[in-house]
Structure 1
Amino acid sequence: MPRFLKPLTRAVTYTRWLHLLMGSAVSLMIAFIYPGLSDPAIAEWVLIAVQPIPLVAAAALLPSMRRAEGLQARLMLFPGQHARVPGDDEGRGVSVAPSASWRDRGRTAVWLVLRLEAGAVAAFCTVQLLGTMLALLGSASETTEDPGVLLPLPAPNWTNALLAPLPVLALLALAVVAGRLMASAARRLLGPSPKERLAALEERTEQLLERNRIARELHDSIGHALTVAVVQAGAARAAADPEFTDRALGAIEETGRAALEDLERVLRVLREDGKTASRRPTLADAGQLLDSARASGAKVDTEMTGPLEQVPGAVSREAYRMLQEALTNVLRHSGPVPVLVRLAVDDAALEIDVRNALPTGGEATGRGGSGLRGIRERATLLGGRATTGPREGEWQVHVELPLG
C-alpha cells in the first residue's frame, strides 16, 4: 500500500477529525442564538469563531478542565493501549492531572482556544468541501441555482461528476494533517508540568528501589534456606546416623518454613492485594538464625553486648539480613567450621562481626559475590559501612550501623 494512503486506514485519523469537529460545538450553539446560521456572511463567520473565546478561557480556570481535556486527547488523539503516546515509555505525553498552578491554567486556556478555532475551521471546511462534492454531482445533470458553497464551480457539464471525488480527497488530506498538528499541540499544551515530571521520576525511583530491596530479601532468605538444606542433607548422608538425620530433617523443615513465610510476604507486597504483610524478622529473631547454622554442623559462638531490643526497627531488620547472609556465606563456602558472631550495641551504633576459619589452603572464597555486595549496599543505605575479606587467617564480615 502506498505510504500516503496508510493514514487513511488508521482509525486514529478519524477519531482525531471527530475530536476537531467536537471543538466547534460551543461556537455552533452560540451561533444559533446570534447571529444565526441562515446564510451568514463572511464577517458573521468570523464573529461565530471569535465570540466564544472568553467563555472557554474562563472554563480553563477550573482545575478539572485540564483533566477532562487530557482524557479526551489521550483517547482520541493518540493510538495504543490506554492512549499512550508512541515513544513515551510512561504514556504521559499528555497529562490527566488537574491544573495545579496558574501556568497549567494558562496552557489549558491556550489549548481550549486553539481547539475552538481549529474546530470551527474544521467544521467550515467539512461543510464546504462536502457541499462542493454534492454541487458537482448536481451540476453534472442540471443547473444548480444556489449550491450554498463559497468555492467557485465550473459550468454545468456531465464531466463535473468526474471532479466530485476531489473535494473528498482534499477533506481526507486535511483530516490527516490537521490531526497530526493537533496531536503535536496537545503534547505541548497538555503535557506534564516540570513538577509532574519530577513527581513521576521520584515515583519511578521509589519503584526501582523497592524492587531492588525485594530482590535482596529473596536472595538472602531463599539463599540461606537452600544453603542450610544442602549442608544438612549432605551431613546426614555422610553420618548415616538415624538420630542425626532426624535432627537434620527438622532443621531443614524449620528453615524451609521460615523461607516460605518470607516468600509469601514478598509476594503479598508484589500483588498489592491489601492484605497485611507478615512481620519482617529482626535481631530479636537472631537466635533462630544461629540455631539453624548450628544445626548445619557449624560451631557458632556468640557474644552479645548492649540492649539489642532498643535497636530501631529499620536498622534491626536490615542487620538481621546482613547476619543471615554472613552465616550463609560461611556455610556455602567454608562448610561447618567454627564461627564467632559478635553483636554489640551502644548509644550510637550497632556493630556486627562474623569471623570464621578460611578453607584449607587459606583461599578467600565468596569474594565479589552478590550476597556480600548486598551487605555493603544495605550498610551504605543506612549510613554505615561494611568490610568483608580475609584478616589474620580468618574470613571476616564487619558491619557498623548508626542508630540515629
Structure 2
Amino acid sequence: MPAPLSLLQTLVQTLVRPLVRAVTYTRWLHLLIGAIVPLAGGLIYPGLSDPGVVDWLIAAALPVPLVAAAALLPSARRAEGLQARLMLFPGKHARVRATGEAGAGEAGAGEAGVGEAATGISATPSASWTDRGRTALWLVFRMEAGLAAWLLTIWLLQVTLVLSGVSVEEPVLGSVTPLAGAAPLAPLPFLALLALVVAGGRLDTRVARRLLGPSVRERMAALEDRTERLLERNRIARELHDSLGHALTLAVVQAGAARAAGDPEFTDRALATIEETGRAALEDLERVLLLLRETGRRPPGAGPGLDEAARLLDSARSSGAVVEAVITGPVEELPGPVSREAYRMLQEALTNALRHAGPVPVAVQVAADDSRLSLLVTNPLPEGRPPAVPGSGSGLRGIRERAALLGGEAKAGTANDTWQVTVTLPLR
C-alpha cells in the first residue's frame, strides 16, 4: 500500500472512526459528570463570578476530603462500577439485574460475572480497605479530571468563537485576544476539542479498569468458582460414563450371550436384566440432566451407595460372569460420599472386566473398618489379547480421580496373569 494511503488509513482509524461511535460521547459525558462536585462547591466558596486560576485550584482541592470519605461506604464502589460499565462500555454485558428471588439472584450474579469479564470493571461492594482506597483514588481522579475536561471544553469553544470574530465577555481561563484575519484558524480549537474528547474518554476508561477492576480477593474467588464448575462438570462426565457405560456393556454382553445360548429361558432372564439395568441408567441420566439444567430442583436421590452393591453384582452375574464377592465390615454405615463413589468405582471395575475380558470369573473383595475402605476387583486376563497399559482408559482414569478427590488411592494393572483394580479410601 502506498505511504500516503497508509497514512490516511491510520489517520481515519485513529481520529475519525472514534468520532462516529456513540461510546466516545458516553465516555466524555461520564468524564464531565465528575465536574459537578467541584463546580457546586466552587459556587459556595470561593465563588465563580469572576474566577481566576487560584479560584479554580481552590474549587478543585476543597471537595477532596469529602469525596475520599464517601469512598468508605462499601456501596460506593458498586455504584461507581455500575456507572462505569454503563457509560464506558455500553451493551448488555454492562447491566446487572438485581432481584430478590433465589433463582433470579443466581442469574443476576452470572450476569455480573459476564459484565466483569467483558469490561474489566467490578460491580461488587468494597470488601477491604484496599478496595476503599482504590475507590477513593478513583473518585478523586474522576472529580479532578472531570473539572479539567469541563474547563478545557468551555475554553476551546470560547477560543473557536473568538477566532471566528465573536466576542466572549466571561472567559473561563483568562481573556482571549482576537486576531485580525484569524477566521481560517477557527476550526483548529474545535478539532483539538474532538481529539480531547477521544483521548479523555480512553484515559477515563483505562484508569477505571485499573482502579475499579477486580481485586486480588475477587480474582481468587472467581478462580475458585471456575475450578468448582470444572470439577462439577468433570464429576458429571464421570457419572455419565460409569452409569451409561455399565448399562450398555451389560446390554451388549447379555444380548450376545442370549443369542449364543439359544435358550428361551436364558433369553428371558437376559432381557429382564437389560430392562432393569436400563431403567437404573435412565434414573442416573435424569439426575445428571437436572444438575446440568441448574433448575434449582433437588435431584431424585443422591445416587446409589455401596450398600446396594448386591444389585450391581447380580447384574454382572446375569451376563454370564461368575462373580465371587466377599464384603466385610459395616458397609451400610459408610459416609455418603465415600459410599456413593465406591459404588461407582466398583461399577466401573466390573464394567471394565466385562468389556475387555467378557463373562470371566471376577473376584470382588470389599473391606471396611473404622479408618478406611478397601476395594479389590480381580479377573483373569483374556486369552489372545495383549495386557492393557496400567491406568489407561477413561474409566480407569475416572476411578483414580474419584479416589484422589476423597484423599485415597487407586491402582490398576496386571499381577499373576490377572487384572487387578485396587482402591483404598480413608474414612476420616
Decide which of 384, 387, 402 is 1:364's aligned counterpart: 387
Decide which of 27, 34, 37 is 1:23's aligned counterpart: 34
Does the C-alpha gap of structure 1 residues 42 and 229 become closer, same or farther in structure 2, counting only changes over 3 Å?
same
1:222 aligns with 2:244: yes
TM-score calculated relative to the size of structure 1: 0.90
Aligned twin of 1:8: 19
Does the C-alpha gap of structure 1 residues 32 and 152 become closer, same or farther in structure 2, counting only changes over 3 Å?
closer
Aligned twin of 2:53: 42
1:53 aligns with 2:29: no
Q: Unaligned stretches of 5+ in structure 2?
A: 1-8, 96-114
Q: Secondary structure at the match of 2:72?
A: coil
1:317 aligns with 2:340: yes
TM-score calculated relative to the size of structure 2: 0.85
User: Aligned Cα RMSD in Å?
Assistant: 2.4
CA shift, 1:112, in A, is 0.6
Aligned twin of 2:293: 271
CA shift, 1:118, in A, is 0.3
Distance 2:211 2:294 in 1: 35
Aligned twin of 2:101: none
1:87-123 per-position Cα deviation (integer Å, ceiling 9, x unaligned):
x994473222212222221221111111000000111
Decide which of 378, 387, 397 is 2:402's aligned counterpart: 378
Alignment map for 1:330-369 (pairs within 5 Å): 330-361=353-384, 363-365=386-388, 367=390, 368-369=392-393
Does the C-alpha gap of structure 1 residues 269 and 151 become closer, same or farther in structure 2, counting only changes over 3 Å?
farther
1:239 aligns with 2:266: no
1:400 aligns with 2:420: no
1:306 aligns with 2:329: yes
Q: CA contact under 8 A between 2:88 and 2:205: conserved in structure 1? A: yes
CA shift, 1:26, in A, is 1.4
Q: Secondary structure at the match of 2:382?
A: coil
List 4+ stretches of structure 1 deviating above 6 A: none
Q: CA contact under 8 A between 1:355 and 1:395: conserved in structure 2? A: yes
Q: Secondary structure at the match of 2:386?
A: coil
Distance 1:100 1:389 in 2: 51
Aligned twin of 1:65: 76
Distance 1:131 1:229 in 2: 86
Residue type matched to 2:324 in 1?
D
Q: CA contact under 8 A between 2:89 and 2:119: conserved in structure 1? A: no
Aligned twin of 1:117: 144
Distance 2:17 2:225 in 1: 38
Q: Secondary structure at the match of 1:347?
A: coil
Residue type matched to 1:54 in 2?
P
1:111-139 per-position Cα deviation (integer Å, ceiling 9, x unaligned):
111100000011111222223334444x2
Alignment map for 1:107-256 (pairs within 5 Å): 107-137=134-164, 139=165, 144=167, 146=169, 148=171, 150=174, 152-155=176-179, 157=181, 160=183, 162-256=184-278
Distance 1:222 1:127 in 2: 72
Residue type matched to 1:3 in 2?
Q
Percentage of matched positions with identical amino acids: 64
Distance 1:224 1:354 in 2: 15
